[in-house]
């Protein structure tokens, strides 16, 4: 079968699947039975302390089942999607949220600064009351967390983390707080995850079909890169060096993790940075020792790709710096990975540039020597 035919079939299949998945997700989201309760309260703050201890929201659940609860509270006008771009100190106090049933029994309690997602809870049909309790001191927070048991494990950590800024979480004045409490049936979450996985799998299959189609019709792609024995040796040395770099990095990260350091970055981010570091070490070593490019492979095409990747990531980094999503609430977000991706590919690009100059110099020298010999 011709390459163009296979590609066309694969693209049509992909478009049909994307359309189908989009339709299913759209229908599913319409089915979502969200129960939302919200209100706006005026709170006066004096010397870092609000004039009321709590606000209350009432809501009714018509159908029994498992629900996932979300709650947020923020100054009026700030949307949930904008939370990321505001520092925590601008958004309000630490809040403990407790959900009570109509018999005044506690269903669950959770806590956070501005936005939180509670675990899945089993709710029967009836009326419920959500209480937002404003917390202004670490001690008050710990007491509440213990009183309501749930979320108590978070208390010492959160209280310790926020202790230096507890009193200055909100400037004095009168401001409107928008409370929102949202219950989403757990089933829609599961189905959403399910369709997400199916969607990802289908896209993966389509990409694989496209790649197979390209590979089956191109001998050049089918051939694995060929390195000579010196290059293989250098590549082996590169892998050994990378292994030690990764070992040391992982060891240091683990030690810091155990010691409770590095609070400004998620460890998942840190481990991916380790991967970038290792790739960078290996590729730069191989480029410098002329073992990265296979026999007869052109450096210029790889340089173009690396330059393009560097630029794309750089643009993302600039955007994340501009909208403040790179560093939020004293933490580096996942956008920092774009920064490290940029640095990794930039380092490779620069190494290639230097190597190109070095090779040109060496070639000129060899040509001179050969002329002298003649």
Partner 1 sequence: MKNLKLKSARAALDLSQQDLADKVGVSRQTINAIEKGDYNPTINLCRSICKVLGKTLDELFWEDE
Residue 30 touching partner 1 (CB under 8 A): no
Q: Which long-range contacts (CB under 8 A, 24 or more apart) does 213-218 make?
A: 213/3, 213/6, 213/7, 213/10, 214/3, 214/7, 216/3, 216/6, 217/2, 217/3, 217/6, 218/3
The distance of closest approach from Cβ of residue 367 to partner 1 in the complex, given in angstroms and rounded to an integer, is 8
- Decide if residue 41 touches partner 1 (CB under 8 A): no
Does 231 sit near partner 1 (CB under 8 A)?
yes
Q: Which stretch binds partner 1 (CB under 8 A): 5-13, 105-113, 222-230, 248-256?
A: 222-230
* Binding residue (CB under 8 A) for partner 1 from 82, 362, 364, 368: 362
- The answer to the question of residue 34 lying near partner 1 (CB under 8 A) is no
Q: Residues with Cβ < 8 Å from 250, sequence gap 6 or more?
A: 271, 274
Q: How far is the CB of 282 from partner 1 (least distance, A)?
A: 18
Q: How far apart are CA 56 and CA 168, in angstroms?
A: 24
Instruction: List Cβ neighbours of 265 (8 Å cut-off, separation of 6 or more).
Output: 331, 332, 336
By CB under 8 A, the count of residues binding partner 1 is 12
Taking CB under 8 A as the rule, does residue 223 contact partner 1? Answer: no
> In angstroms, rounded to a whole number, what is the distance separating the alpha carbons of residues 252 and 267?
12
- Contact status: 104 vs partner 1 (CB under 8 A): no
In this chain, which of 26, 34, 230, 361 binds partner 1, going by CB under 8 A?
Answer: 230
Q: Say if CB 198 and CB 59 are below 8 A apart.
A: no
Nearest distance from C-beta of residue 204 to partner 1, angstroms = 36
Task: Tell me if 373 contacts partner 1 by CB under 8 A.
Answer: yes
361 binds partner 1 (CB under 8 A): no
Closer residue to partner 1 in complex, CB, 146/359:
359
Burial per residue of 137-164, b for 16 or more beta-carbon CB atoms within 10 angstroms, e otherwise: bbebbbebbeebebbeeebeebbeebee
CB of 363 to partner 1, least distance (A): 8
Give me the sheet containing 49-50, strands edge to edge: 49-50, 35-46, 173-185, 65-75, 115-123
Is residue 370 involved in binding partner 1 (CB under 8 A)?
yes
What is the widest separation between alpha-carbon atoms in the chain? 103
Q: Which is nearer to partner 1, 228 or 323 (CB)?
A: 228
Q: Copy the structure tokens of residue 79.
A: 């949307």
Judged by CB under 8 A, the residue of 30, 229, 259, 300 near partner 1 is 229
Nearer to partner 1, 27 or 295 (CB): 295
Q: Which of 65, 105, 85 lies closest to 328, judged by CA?
A: 85
The DSSP code for 287 is H
Binder to partner 1 among 25, 65, 290, 327 (CB under 8 A)? Answer: 290
160 versus 362: smaller Cβ distance to partner 1: 362
Residue with tokens 């009432």: 58
Strand partners, 40: 178
Q: Which residue stretch of 80-88, 196-204, 330-338, 365-373 sits at the interface with partner 1 (rule: CB under 8 A)?
A: 365-373
Of 258 and 295, nearer to partner 1 (C-beta) is 295
Q: Nearer to partner 1 by C-beta: 273 or 287?
A: 287
Distance CA 105, CA 103 (A): 5
Q: Which residue has the tokens 């005044």?
A: 104
DSSP string for residues in 221-276? HHSPP---HHHHHHHHHHHHHHHHHHHHHHHHHHHHHHHT--TTB-HHHHHHHHHH
Token readout for 38 is 């919200």
The residue among 26 and 361 lying less far from partner 1, judged by its C-beta, is: 361
- Rule CB under 8 A: say whether 160 interacts with partner 1: no
- Window contacting partner 1 (CB under 8 A); options: 111-119, 204-212, 229-237, 278-286: 229-237
Would you say 287 or 341 has its CB closer to partner 1? 287
Contact window for partner 1 (CB under 8 A) among 58-66, 241-249, 271-279, 366-374: 366-374
Residues near partner 1 (CB under 8 A) are 228-231, 233, 290, 295, 362, 366, 370, 373-374
């Amino acid at each position: 079968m011709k390459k163009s035919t296979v590609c066309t079939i694969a693209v049509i299949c992909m478009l049909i699947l994307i359309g189908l998945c989009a339709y299913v997700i759209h229908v599913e989201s319409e089915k979502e039975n969200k129960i939302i309760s919200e209100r706006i309260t005026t709170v006066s703050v004096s010397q870092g302390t609000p004039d009321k201890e709590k606000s209350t929201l009432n809501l009714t659940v018509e159908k029994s089942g498992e629900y996932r609860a979300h709650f947020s509270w923020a100054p009026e006008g700030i949307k949930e999607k904008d939370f990321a771009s505001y520092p925590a100190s601008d958004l309000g106090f630490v809040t403990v949220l407790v959900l009570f049933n109509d018999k005044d029994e506690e269903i669950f309690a959770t806590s956070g600064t501005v936005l939180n997602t509670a675990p899945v809870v089993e709710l029967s049909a009836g009326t419920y009351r959500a209480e937002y309790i404003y917390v202004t001191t670490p001690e008050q927070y710990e007491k509440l967390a213990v009183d309501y048991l749930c979320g108590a494990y978070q208390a010492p950590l959160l209280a310790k983390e926020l202790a230096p800024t507890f009193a200055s979480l909100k400037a004095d004045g009168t401001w409107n707080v928008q409370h929102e409490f949202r219950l989403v049936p757990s089933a829609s979450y599961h189905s959403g995850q399910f369709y997400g996985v199916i969607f990802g799998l289908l896209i993966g299959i389509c990409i694989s079909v496209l790649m197979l189609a390209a590979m089956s019709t191109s001998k050049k792609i089918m051939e694995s890169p060929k390195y000579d024995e010196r290059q293989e040796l250098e590549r082996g040395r590169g892998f050994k060096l990378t292994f030690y770099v990764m070992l040391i990095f992982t060891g240091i990260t683990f030690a810091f993790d155990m010691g409770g350091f590095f609070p400004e970055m998620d460890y998942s981010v840190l481990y991916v940075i380790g991967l970038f570091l290792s790739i960078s070490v290996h590729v730069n070593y191989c480029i410098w020792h002329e073992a990265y490019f296979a026999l007869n492979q052109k450096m210029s095409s790889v340089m173009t790709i690396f330059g393009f990747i560097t630029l794309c990531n750089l643009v993302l980094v600039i955007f994340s710096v501009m909208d403040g999503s790179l560093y939020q609430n004293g933490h580096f977000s996942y956008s920092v990975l774009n920064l490290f991706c940029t640095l990794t590919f930039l380092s490779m690009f620069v190494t290639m540039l230097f190597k190109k100059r070095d090779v040109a110099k060496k070639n000129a020298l060899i040509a001179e020597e050969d002329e002298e010999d003649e």
